[in-house]
Amino acid sequence: MDTSASNQTMEQRVLIDLDRCIECRSCAAACYYSHANMPAVNFARAGWALLPVICRQCKAASCVEACPAEAMVRDENGVVRRRLLRCIGCGSCARACPFGVLPDQLGGTPTASRSPQRMTGHQVAKCDLCADRTVDGGDVVPRCVAACPAGALSFADEHRAEQLKLTVLGGRATGENPYKRR
């Protein structure tokens, strides 16, 4: 992988239909089991709703700017991702994230420290849009989208979100009443 920063940005995002999420956490489980037991899907609660939040792949990614170890980079495909071996677990990216979707606990969740694949137990879990399978494009979707039983998640061009009446997952998670079903 080319580790130098890239100006290219990924246009496709994980979108959520707020009218369909049944809070089953299938997305989180799929992420956990396929990312060395470090789930990048977190949850935000607002009133009745418990909704998944993941990195929304900002065009001007504060986490990349803030990382002192160059662990957070935008790769050649435009995906903002964390380089496992460079992450020193300082938490700068989590604090810099304007949407609060990176875990504020080092190690992501308590599970990370128990993961047999862990390197230091201090890495920050970060969504890479399942780059191992989506990098070639086509109709391939990240695992959280594939696992969603209710059909609430989709993987599409973010510019179509409004047209599809969907919300970019991770965006406006604590904003002005995006929970239209309630």
Binding site for other proteins (CB under 8 A): 19-20, 22-26, 28-30, 32-34, 37, 39, 47-49, 109-111, 114, 116-117, 132-133, 138-141, 143, 145-151, 153-154, 181-182
Residue 144, SS3? Answer: helix
Phi, psi of 63 (to 5 degrees): -65, -35
Least separation in angstroms between residue 42's CB and other proteins is 12
Q: In terms of CB distance, is 172 or 182 closer to other proteins?
A: 182
Q: In terms of CB distance, is 74 or 143 closer to other proteins?
A: 143
CA dihedral 26, 50, 95, 97 (to 10 degrees): 80
The Cα-based distances of 114 to 108, 118, 144 in angstroms read 11, 8, 22
Q: CA angle at residue 96 from 157 to 147, to 5 degrees?
A: 40
Least separation in angstroms between residue 65's CB and other proteins is 27
Least separation in angstroms between residue 151's CB and other proteins is 5
Least separation in angstroms between residue 105's CB and other proteins is 12
